[in-house]
Amino acid sequence: MKLNKVHKFNIKNYKFGDLPRESIISLFRDGRICSYFLERQLEKWFPDLKFVNGHGYDFVSTKTKLKYDAKNFTKGGLRFMPSNQIGAGRQFNLGICGKHVEETIYILCDIVDFPRVRVVAKSGKELLKQYSKCVIPLRDREKVFA
């Protein structure tokens, strides 16, 4: 996976039971739900990535051994701090997450317009220079995928 190269996908096959298409689209625009599916799909789109679980990152490159973490743009923007600092009752701590962010390549996925999905890999070190609080606001979405 090459840094800063934007990939565009249009997912055609998605369904669950008897749920209408609109319900599925709504669910997959929620990063908490979509991430489980998208992580597995990224392995298919980018065969050099191997999904790993429970390591503080989502993938390892089979070629370079670099660590990758997938994060989703949703209507609230994108947070690229470690997952244990995202969510209710959790606090962002740059001192703790800074080293992790700098050692990680982030796979930024745009699911705002699901079933259209855009994907780009960015260096955590470079992201941190631009977004020191590890949050990319929704208004910067087009800039990220330009």
**Model confidence pLDDT, tens digit, residues 62-96:** 999 999 999 999 988 998 876 655 554 556 555 66
Report DSSP state, residue 111: -
pLDDT at 132: 86
SS3 call for 39: helix
pTM of the model: 0.89
Q: Which two tokens stand for residue 36?
A: 């489980």
**Domain range for 15:** 7-137
C-alpha 76/C-alpha 61 separation (Å) is 29
Q: What is the CATH number of the domain that holds 80?
A: 3.40.210
When the pLDDT of each residue in the chain is averaged and rounded to a whole number, the result is: 89
Domain count, the chain: 1
C-alpha 72/C-alpha 57 separation (Å) is 14
Q: Is the pLDDT reported for residue 143 higher than 90?
A: yes
Q: Is 89 a domain residue?
A: yes
Q: Is 142 a domain residue?
A: no
Residue 85 φ/ψ, nearest 5 degrees: -115, 10
C-alpha 119/C-alpha 42 separation (Å) is 9
pLDDT at 88: 45
